[in-house]
Structure 1
Amino acid sequence: MLLTTKFLRPASDPRAVQRERLSSLLAPGHPKRLNLVVAPAGFGKTTLVSQWCTRTTGPIAWLSLDEHDDEPRRFWQYVVSAFEHAGLTGVEACQKSLASNSDDSLSSAITALLNTLASDGSSWNLVLDDFQFIARDSIQRQVGYFVDYLPSGVTITLISRTEPPLPLPRWRVRRWVQEIHPALLAFSEDECREFFHITMGLEISEPDVKAIRRRTEGWVAAMQLSALSRSKTASGRDQNGSGSHALRAPLNIDERYISDYVLSEVLDKQPEDIVAFLLDTACCPRLCASLCNSIRKAGDSQKMLETLLSQNLFLIPLDNQNEWFRYHDLFRDALLQRIQHTDPERAHMLWQRTLNWLLDNGQVQEAIAQIVQKEDWPWLAAVLATHGNNLIHGGYHLPVLDWLDALPEAEIRDNAQLQMLGIWGRFFANRLDNLEPLLANVEDLLDRRVADSAPDAEGALGLQSEISLIRSYLARSRSDDKNASDLTRQVLADIDHTRIPLKSVTYYGLGLDDYGKGDLSGAEKALKSAVHYGQVERKPSTVLSSGGLLAWIQYNRGDMDLALDTCTDVRRWVDQHYSDPTQPRLISCWLSAALTEIYRERDQLQDAAAHLEPLLEHVNKGAEPGQHVIIQHVRGHLAFSEGRIREAIEYLEDAELVGRKRREHIVFEPPASSALLARCFLAIGQPAQARQVLESPNRHAVTNPLNREQNSISYARLLVSENKPEQALEILEALIPAAEHNEHNRHRVEALLVCAEALAVQGRDKDCQEQLARSVAIAAEAGFLRLFAEESPQLHRLLLASPALKSSGSWQRTLTDMLANLKPAAAADQAEKDSAPGLKPDARPTPTGDPSQELAEPLSQREKEVLELINAGYANKDIATHMGVAPATVKAHIRNLYGKLDVGRRTEALARARELGILRQ
């Protein structure tokens, strides 16, 4: 969870000196890309940039950095979220890439942000305040890359105490940089005069103004300290006394002297209640009244904050409502120095209270970051034990894994709960390969506890239930459905006797099991329980996944209105309870896929595409295999509905390939893309290709009744197209009663339609019309539309002539209009387009066995490596990670090998490589 106040630009003080001569330098302009405002603390850098921001017209993203942000993924999460907070749309892909990427390169996320800015086209300004906290070389290189490829019109402003190690000489030659250094920031005599007279409200003589300017060299922090000292001193003397005595001591820009000055000339001259408040709240990097009240055990913090603000005591507002503030860094450093020196025990207690407030108010990640910085490992272990499970189920599994890695081995070695937390983190990160040994380690540890008569029997039972639950999901990935179901039901029997909040995940597993058996009613019941307990347990990812699968089932059953209500209710709950604008919106593959299918089926294709869009960003950045298959299936179905048959084939072949190659990483059986793929080949007049798909050996591995029905209906379509109606009817007459019994209403409608077409081929017109009437009656009640348009032209003619569509119902009129407006030659036109880009499969040259003789230019070693990884079912992002290169490099390799193999997509490349002997059969 990111801290939203870091995106708030400091509010401008109307009394502050307006520095026109510097503001004009910050204005965007070609070819400038970077404003570099560098000076020691207290030179007015932030104030200057904030003033300029109030005058500029372009959109502004502001980010205040701190010492916790010197970590690549966290830094870029904040940068992307700053843009999003300022109104930039389309950054979900960047956020998802950042959430799933565990290395320091993050090039895909940075590239995605650059592409998003380019697509937006606005003259964005990004301000990074306190950039001196960013010290890692990797982040500096990434920022250099980001500036090098900034879209035209986008400007970055870095505010820093030190010059960053960026390629500034090269940028200076290109006139990309506008630098504002201490000499420019230093106040002139006129600005100094205005500062004292207007900002500070002091009557300073001209000789004093010049003296202050000379002694401070225009350093505004020192001038402000001087003015405050003068104000306090003058208030204690008679009206005729001279105020210049307060400035006789020389001022030094060295921060040590400033700290001493703060303590002696400011803090020590404040009333006791102000001093106590300042020292007590110095441990808070950012302040609000609730936080201050909590750590001080008082109720007057808002009044105290407003007092500090009115007295210019280095309190900087972070919003316009006077709710959030921060102290000037130098001032806060001086306060911390004082309390840690005078009362270290109280300083530590206040820090602990601050972290407890953060934990109690949902800012767990910010609290953990401070605990890690202090290296308080026992407290980190305790916080992870308390909050880790909800963090993981809220989508923060990667940060949890990072924090577990930070813990010393001694904190984890004998802690079964933390070890189990690491297993859940790896499970949600789809790192399933090595989970079994880790589960065995936890079991051994629990066995030793029993042998040692450890008292926490309830906790041990809870962990055993978690182990069984993980193993049930691993069993599903092996298609061991019985073992998965047995383990899940055992967990459900034990779970009421444990403290683990995992009923939602358990019921989700039961829902997957029942769905896998084709028991839609049982699955619906289990998934409703999963949604309910997910809300009770505050597990948004489980609520989304369970609600999404529930909606998918309701859609297939024909309850589309109910499915839409389910999606709406689930989405509303998640957004209400987890509306963190700094984080990417939680996405459910099942839920977005269900919405895409529902709107596609209702012939609202633009709405369907809108719900598909976030899934495309998800899959392009490397979705886990099961989600990848679902997304490509739905994507292919929409393309099929829109007549983009070639694209549909590409997506569906990819879904088939990943589903086959990565089956052991998928904890459920995804939709049968083979059935839809065969329909695509039938639509473009390639029944042989359709038969090859449907008779593939992989077809026999299908266990889900819904998938078997889909394949069987497609096979019946193939038989009808081959003029074998008797065989088609034999299949359909066995399928229809089972589909009716199991409430697979969508399949009932499809099966009845194909049955009607088979009967028409036989000349049995009366029976044909009877089946058409049955299909229309079921579909009208459910609201199915698009599935009729996707059948053959022969069926379209039969339907338009059928008495079943002659009634005056609105659904019947809509379907009639849709069928009447279909382009008769759409399939033929699309078939010609599909065959144009490359050779047909039967037009390939006969291989000679020597790849070098078949290719005009042989594949490079890198291209062969990419080809092998494609054959293994890896997505582009996973290939990039495996090879240690950028995703753009992988795309270039794929583009080159496609050209050399004379193909247009992955499956063609694999088939061609096998023909040439480059890949094994």
Structure 2
Amino acid sequence: MLLTTKFLRPAADARAVRRERLLQILQRRPGKRLDLVIGPAGFGKTTLVNQWCADQTLPVAWLSLDENDDDPRRFWQYVTGALIHAGFAQLEPCQKAFNTYASHELEGAITGLINALVDSAGEGLNLVIDDYHQIQDPDIHRQLAYLIGYLPPGMTVVLISRTEPDLPVAKWRVRQWVDDIHPQLLAFSEDECRRFFNECMALDLSEKEAHRIWKKTEGWVAAMQLSALSQRDGVGHDGTPPPNPVPETSRQINDYILSEILDQQPQAVAAFLLDTACCLRLTASLCNVVRESTDSQAMLESLSQRNLFLIPLDTRDEWFRYHDLFREALFQRLQQTQPERIQTLQSRAVTWFLEHDHIQEAIAQLVQLQDWEWLAGVLEQHGNNLIHGGFHLPVLDWLDKLPDGTVESSPRLSMLRIWGHFFANRLDAIEPRLERLEDLLDRRVADSHPDAEGALALQSEMALIRSYLARTRSDLKSAADLTQQVLRDIDHTQIPLKSVTYYGLGLDYFGRGDLPAAEEALQSAVSHGQIERKPSTVLSSGGLLAWIQFNRGQIEQALESCVSIRKWIDRHYTDPKQPKLISCWQNCTLIEIYRERDELELADTHLAPLMSHLENGTEPGQHVIIQYARARLAFTRGDYGLAVQALDDALSVLERRREHIVFEPPNLTALKARVQLAQGHTEAAREWLEARHPDRFRNPLNAEQDTITAARVLIALGRPDEATPLLTPLRLSTETGQHHKHLIEVLTVYADALATEGKAQEALPVLSEALKRAAREQLYRTFVEESPQVHSLLRQMSRQQVDGAFLEHLLELLPASTPSAAPSAPSRAEGLVEPLSARETEVLELINEGLANKEIAVRMDVAGTTVKAHIRNLYGKLQVKSRTEALARARQLELLD
């Protein structure tokens, strides 16, 4: 049960100063999605947002968080609860979804929430989340980023927090999605300060006294209050100057910090502040090393209790940071008074960060120190893991900061730069660098250089890189030979290369179609990658492994691979400010799994992040795979125009960038021919049939798909007798090769051919075998997307022949049976390439009545997103783009009275 008191806005304080300049920043504007109000306790954040809410004409949903809400499921239950409390009762199914979805499927529930808000929010709404600093779980940050990334038009999220949230705010600022109010803006103006004293605190301070306090505190409301209270106690009322008079000229805030905070502290506290000013983040162990002491935990707790600009970074009071302005002021004092200690303090911090595996923080300190020799050593030791953890671009930037000649004279750093270019897909820059590195290694060996043995160990890495380059040239023999060479030498090197090597081996087996061997190699790549802590290699290997499992028809196993790999990645790659590691193989596999199971919203969830990769530019092989999965999903929805558009784009990239793709892409042209059949463009499909060359495929999955599609085209052309000879040998080869998904398709299309030849009784047992195999993995769309002839056979199936529940659900997904068209209306049969389902017919009739989407949803007692899905399918089958066109086309086809 949810606490409804968390949905209540705080009671308004009539005495609170109304801050028009800040309220103006919070006002709605086109394109804005997020308001951030950030500041320490006592800065008036909640009061300000509460005032803004009182002015809103649109609904406001308010949620106050506490430390118990740092759990994804609980967090989203409360978010939907706040929206429902604000008047959106139609979101109750979304709240139930957050109760029932598995943890790894919560983004699917969020997709459902977004879709429901599109239908229900009307002109817009405001969602206020107070005390967001209570949230530390990186999954919640990523999920909230997903919500904001796809926020419905007119909706604004307001976050109130003591700390900057771990969200991609910098990117959103560039897109002008964010207006933010930080402590500098929260600081009171002189006029607000005067009104605060008079109206809120009811203190009769003179204008001069109020001005002095405002100047002294720079508008920090908590400090203003303390100063005003001290004046009320008698300081300054006798006309004598205050003990520490403030000069009349304006002062920077760091002057105030140094004179009025630092200089007023006990000597031990002041020393602690100065000694730790060089650290961007603080924890007791780090501070103990930097200060060479043992009391840092007590000091940090004391500073936190005294609100000395120390901001907590977690809920356990382990990690902190100083307010940036406060730390800068402290560092300035350290530079003025003890410049000789800075290098010593920072060196101790770097050592601690390295010992505790905080490599990036150590590098940040070294860059600040400009200790290039030490930085080069750190990169030599840790750069490989950073690159394979997804940080190849930062590594390239750090290498560029080193003095000229440093990288070129170091074999290890030279190899690191080559790996950086490889993962950045700058393949053209690699071969020249490999040749220069090879020359350097030869000279070292010839000169008996002290590091000659280490230099020789790099030969394995060079061979591994060259194996990947060979794959881009389709030189599979060289790729295999080089990979085997690496495997022979790998146990004699200290460099963790096994995961990347086995991934390459998996690609080779995949390209040759030896799927069992590919699975075995990829499982080894995942295991070694986890040991070597290489998240990007684990994700790529696991993603390709799941893709193969899916295409072999092992759907549950593929889903388990995806979930287990994602859990491991999220445990070892938890910085929410870094972009989430995405594998196009894994996401495309999940798109295919959920598409096959007719869970299209979940499929959309995994397609959405891939679309940004397409927009921003990605590696050509990934580009092709993403567009293939996108086209497949569009085909399922009946959006044939989008499917063709995605396939044409993929074919264009394949033609231009084939040499940069290290694997054989899926059979794009076969899928396009199938789309053309669905569009009724049988002549275009026939042209593909006549021009196809199935022997050009190395991967048998692609050759099989080519042959299966050819059989479909032949059946559509009225030549089923030519289709069966193609399918007969394929039935044996797919079973022998354990290509179970293709075997199911072969059996289904074979049954279609038999029925088209008038052999329905022979077709039924063949189709029954396909259904039995499909039921084990819950494959539905495989049958739904086949011909009306197959649908007719499915309706003749007995529930005793196959899994009854599976068949019942499958029959629910089939389009409604359509009677044969009368001879006088040939346009109806020609124009409607696939019959409308009963639900789609009902939607069409309700559109004809003039009902809007919301009214249709109410009439049919379904969600608005379901109505939209029916309308998308309806448009695809009628080949139209609007309601007006749909009604006109339906009347032409005599689907409406």
- Per the normalisation by structure 1, the TM-score is 0.68
Letter in 2 for 1:280: D
Cα deviation for residue 512 of structure 1 reads 1.2
SS of the residue 1:122 aligns to: strand
Going from structure 1 to structure 2, the CA distance change for 1:389 and 1:635 (only over 3 Å counts) comes to same
1:305 to 293, 297, 300: 300
The corresponding residue for 1:291 is: 286
SS at match of 1:794: helix
Can you give the 5+ residue segments of structure 2 that lack an aligned partner in the other structure?
1-12, 31-38, 54-59, 65-131, 165-169, 835-879, 882-897
Alignment of 1:310-459 (within 5 A): 315=310, 322-327=317-322, 332=327, 335-340=330-335, 343-361=338-356, 363-459=358-454
8 A contact 1:558–1:783 mirrored in 2? no
| Structure 2: distance between partners of 1:410 and 1:273 | 46
Q: 1:608: Cα distance to partner?
A: 2.7
Matched ranges for 1:473-512 at <5 A: 473-512=468-507
2-structure distance, mates of 1:90, 1:617:
20
Q: Does 1:516 align with 2:500?
A: no
Q: How does 1:139-218 map to 2 (within 5 A)?
A: 155-157=179-181, 183-184=190-191, 190=197, 218=215
| Pairing partner for 1:219 from 212, 216, 234 | 216
Match of 1:659 among 651, 654, 671: 654
The C-alpha deviation readout for 1:319-345, integer Å capped at 9, x for no partner, is: 776555444667645644554455444
Structure 1: how far apart are the matches of 2:224 and 2:745?
84
Q: 1:44/1:291 Cα in 2 relative to 1: closer, same or farther (>3 Å)? A: closer
> In structure 2, what is the equivalent of residue 21 of structure 1?
17
Figure out how many residues of one structure are paired with residues of the other and give that number. 727
Aligned pairs (5 A) from 1:11-90: 20-21=16-17, 23-28=19-24, 47=43, 52=48
Q: Distance in 2 between matches of 1:622 and 1:84?
A: 36
2:547 match: 552
Cα distance in structure 1, aligned partners of 2:243 and 2:225? 9
Q: Distance in 1 between matches of 2:227 and 2:609?
A: 57
Q: 2:155 maps to what in 1?
A: 121
CA distance in 1, matches of 2:812, 2:244: 92
Q: How many angstroms does 1:460 deviate by? A: 2.3
Among candidates 741, 751, 770, match of residue 746 of structure 2? 751
Displacement of 1:788 in angstroms is 1.9
Change (3 A) 1:833 1:544: farther
Distance 2:229 2:188 in 1: 30
Q: Trace 1:656-805 onto structure 2 (pairs within 5 A).
A: 656-696=651-691, 701-763=696-758, 767-801=762-796
- Mapped to 2, the partners of 1:825 and 1:312 lie a distance apart of 80
1:891 matched residue in structure 2: none
**Aligned equivalents of 2:137, 2:24: Cα separation in 1:** 19
Q: How far is the alpha carbon of 1:809 from its aligned partner?
A: 3.6
Does the 8 Å contact 2:694/2:707 carry over to 1?
A: no
In the TM superposition, residue 431 of structure 1 has moved relative to its aligned partner by 1.7
Contact kept, 8 Å, 1:468 with 1:487, in 2: the verdict is yes
1:532, distance to aligned residue in structure 2 (A): 0.9
Q: State the AA in 2 paired with 1:549.
A: L
Contact 1:805 1:816 in 2 (8 A): no
**Alpha carbons of structure 1 residues 30 and 156: separation in structure 2 relative to 1, 3 Å:** closer
2:275 is matched with 280
1:587 aligns with 2:621: no
In structure 2, relative to structure 1, the CA distance for the partners of 1:443 and 1:685 (3 Å cut) is: same
Q: Residue 617 of structure 2 aligns to which amino acid in structure 1?
A: G
Equivalent residues of 2:755, 2:789 under 8 A apart: no
1:602 aligns with 2:636: no
Q: Secondary structure at the match of 2:428?
A: coil
1:315 & 1:295 partners in 2: Cα distance?
18
Change (3 A) 1:525 1:614: same
Partner SS for 1:662: helix
Greater RCO, CA 8 A, separation 6+ = 1
Is this contact kept in 2: 1:505–1:530, CA < 8 A? yes
Secondary structure of the 1:671 match is coil
1:452-471 deviation line (CA, Å, top 9, x unaligned): 21233453243221111121
Residue 655 of structure 1 and its aligned partner are, at CA, apart by 2.2
What does residue 107 of structure 1 align with?
Answer: none
Query: What amino acid is aligned across from residue 220 of structure 1 in structure 2?
Result: T
Partner Cα separation in structure 1 for residue 642 and residue 830 of structure 2: 12
Question: Contact 1:90–1:116 (CA<8 Å) still a contact in 2?
Answer: no
1:537 aligns with 2:516: no
State the SS of the aligned residue for 2:181: strand
What is the CA–CA distance in structure 2 between the aligned matches of 1:519 and 1:472, rounded to whole Å?
Answer: 19
Q: Percent identity?
A: 46
Shift of 1:521: 0.7
Question: 1:247 — aligned with what?
Answer: 243
Distance 1:318 1:745, change over 3 A: closer
**SS where residue 410 of structure 1 aligns?**
coil
Deviation at 1:705, TM superposition (A): 0.9
Residues 1:631 and 2:665 are matched in the alignment: no
Tell me which residue corresponds to 1:622: 617
Pairwise CA distance, 1:569? 0.9
The question of 1:565 aligning with 2:560 is answered: yes
Q: Which residue of 2 aligns with 1:574?
A: 569
The one-character-per-residue Cα deviations of 1:600-659 (angstroms, maximum 9, x if unpaired) are 222333333333333233323323221121122122222222222232222222222222
Task: Assess, with a 3 A threshold, how the Cα gap between structure 1 residues 687 and 249 changes in structure 2: closer, same or farther.
Answer: closer
Q: Secondary structure at the match of 2:17?
A: helix
Q: Per-residue displacement from partner, 1:331-361 (whole Å, max 9, x unpaired)?
A: 6456445544554443212112223344455
Please give the per-residue CA displacement for 1:44-102, whole angstroms capped at 9, x wherever unaligned: 999466874687658999xxxxxxxxxxxxxxxxxxxx999899999989999xxxxxx
Q: Quick one: structure 1 residues 160 and 814, their matched pair in 2 at CA, closer, same or farther if it must change by over 3 Å? A: closer
Instruction: Tell which deviates more after alignment, 621-630 or 587-596.
Output: 621-630
